[in-house]
Amino acid sequence: MKQLLLLIFILTSNASIAQSLGEDVYIRYYLGRSIQRTKLFDETGIGKFITFRNIPSSWILEYQRTNALEDIQGLFGAVKPKFSFLNNKSFLLDFKGSSLGELNFSFRGKIDFKKITGQLSINGHWGDQRNDSNQDNYLDLNLKKRIFLHNSWSFFLKNITSVNTIWFLGMETQGGQMNFNKSTDYLTTNAYGNGIGVTHFVGESSNFIATRSKDMLLINFRVVDHTQNSYYGLQAYKGKEWGVDAKAQYSYRLENGFDLFKFGLNYRYQTIRESLDSLELERKESFGGGYVGYETFFGKKFKLSTRVNVAYHNLASWIIVPHLRFDATILKSLSATVFGGSGMRYANVLSENAQFLFSNRSVKIEEPLLPERAWYYGASVNYGTWLKLGLDFYTSLNLQVYHTIYQNKIILDLDSDAYAMSFHNQDGKAEKLSFELDAQIRLSKPQIGLNIDYRLDFINSTINNQYIQEPLHSMHNLLLALDYRLRIQNVYICDITSQFHWYGPQRLPNVAVKTVEGASYPLQSPSVSRWDLKLSFPFYAWIKRSTKLKNFIFYVGIDNLFNEVQPLSYIGGDQPFNQNFDAGLSWNSTVGRRYYGGFTYVF
């Protein structure tokens, strides 16, 4: 049956990435835990995962993965969503509901004045239906209430452009046993529950000043305020982050047009506090410094870019972080890049490993944790061109290899003690070797496109005196996305969008001691696949006369068409307050097949 469904996918089907209503599909099924150390949505603190995973999917056009080279932790990479465009003086409403009792509402609008542009985006999500399709007495999908707001105002003067933005996320979730009631059962043994309460605020101002026809001054100011209260059975977690960033960069290009110098100054102050019951972690970081960058061209085909970041950190003393990049345009449609550098960061061990708190493991920090430091190098090849082979189509292929060698890495040990999660500094070898492939084929007639994303990761560390693969990391990750515009007798009927996720087995820590009286737990998870399908029906293409109905786009979809869910989601689930209980070994979704429908109205 599964082979037949895959055949239908190939024959019939832009990916609806990010989340599917209440699930963070793109992160769970493709990025996985490989983004643990990256900058997400310009965030590096304890709020980065929650914020990133709750950006509404209808706002996002694609995800961009880059290195943030102006940052001292640039080597660990950055993932930032590219938002879909809004036309001038346009407003968009989107309403969606699912068979699991979820409701999702979005409003986006853009207005233009002579020298001012304003954008407002608001999303609300509500899910209060208790679902337990596998009859294990635990919620398949957490109850959730969320509001996400983005407001941006841009001012365009003669030589100055100022972009001022605020973000706000307010969210509350509840999971655990079906009969858990937070008002009466919170932090008691009446019933097991877990949940998150979070408020996240970001204010940012980016100002671009043109000093000459070829030069640019950038002044950026950013403030972050994050408050989080979570609970896991009888354990209570509290997190607080407050930080401010200031950056100034001047770009100076010589008269020859080939040489560009970049000079930057930056300062950051941030306070991060995390607590789990009696465990208290607090870090106050203050560092300032600058960077110098140089770019030059050798003819029309070669470009050299260098950058050196120098900063003084109140905890890590002097930091020197170099980056080097060389680009070559081999042919009009073929280019290549080699790159290398280093970086450092401080780990937030509780928030970055929050999934393992869904267990009764104790948390052990065996020594003062040092900053993570690493060197990296890599290369990429990019190809893209239009071809005519009977049909006009565009094809592109991007290949990249990326090797990170850690000088120090915070090691999470789940293997030596099944009843504890231990953190310590690197004692041995740790590295990450990644191969990435991104291919695209798009035909103009018929309008059809296929994207193939594949990543091969070797993420190994010395854990418990063994150099092994880190737990709950998949070596293979695949995403196929296909979109097709169906026309019958030259009449635009609908858009079919489909995506297929697959990732390979993951190593699981040995928890045999917890399953002596029950079913044995495997040391490796099976591979996981998921297929999502969506059909959109545009009334504007069907109705010729002038009517407000033309502004509607109706859509229906099915998520997780294979209905794949994780068996044995909870070890010792019938006794959640026993030391053998463990809900942290999550390698697949617990949400089965979901049907949804909705509409978009543009005015």
Does some domain include residue 421?
A: no
Name residues of the chain where pLDDT drops below 70: 1-23, 68-70, 74-75, 213, 390, 516-519, 545-548
- In degrees and rounded to multiples of 5, residue 70 shows phi and psi of -80, 0
Count of structural domains, the chain: 1
CB contact at 8 A, 483 and 532:
no
Residue 28: predicted pLDDT: 78
Among residues 201, 215, 217, 301, the alpha carbon closest in space to that of 260 is found at 215
Residue 208: CB partners within 8 Å, gap ≥ 6? Answer: 160, 161, 162, 216, 217, 218
Residue 24, CA distances (Å) to 49, 105, 588 in order: 10, 17, 12
String of b and e for 10-20 (b: at least 16 CB within 10 Å)?
A: eeebebbbbbb
Residue 26: CB partners within 8 Å, gap ≥ 6? Answer: 17, 18, 19, 63
- In degrees and rounded to multiples of 5, residue 63 shows phi and psi of -100, 135
- In degrees and rounded to multiples of 5, residue 250 shows phi and psi of -120, 125
With the C-alpha atoms ordered 255, 258, 259, 261, is the resulting torsion angle positive or negative? positive
Does some domain include residue 603?
A: no
Among residues 74, 584, 50, 45, the alpha carbon closest in space to that of 347 is found at 45
Torsion, Cα of 96, 99, 101, 104 (10° steps): -10
CB contact at 8 A, 30 and 501:
yes
Q: How far apart are CA 169 and CA 148, in angstroms?
A: 5
Q: How far apart are CA 596 and CA 96, in angstroms?
A: 7
Token readout for 109 is 């609008």
Residue 14: predicted pLDDT: 41
Q: How far apart are CA 21 and CA 596, in angstroms?
A: 9
Does some domain include residue 337?
A: no
Among residues 292, 308, 250, 241, the alpha carbon closest in space to that of 268 is found at 241
Residue with tokens 């798009």: 442
Burial of 74 (0-12, 13-18, 19+ CB in 10 A): buried
Does some domain include residue 310?
A: no
Amino acid, res. 257? G
Does some domain include residue 197?
A: yes
Does some domain include residue 40?
A: yes
Residue 373: predicted pLDDT: 94
Q: How far apart are CA 539 and CA 543, in angstroms?
A: 6
CB contact at 8 A, 429 and 467:
yes
Number of helices and strands (H, E) in the chain? 6, 29
CB contact at 8 A, 474 and 458:
no
Cα of 292 vs its chain's centroid, Å: 29
Residue 12: predicted pLDDT: 39
Does some domain include residue 368?
A: no
Does some domain include residue 457?
A: no
Q: How far apart are CA 149 and CA 56, in angstroms?
A: 10
Token readout for 357 is 């708190």
Q: Which domain holds residue 170?
A: 26-89+100-290
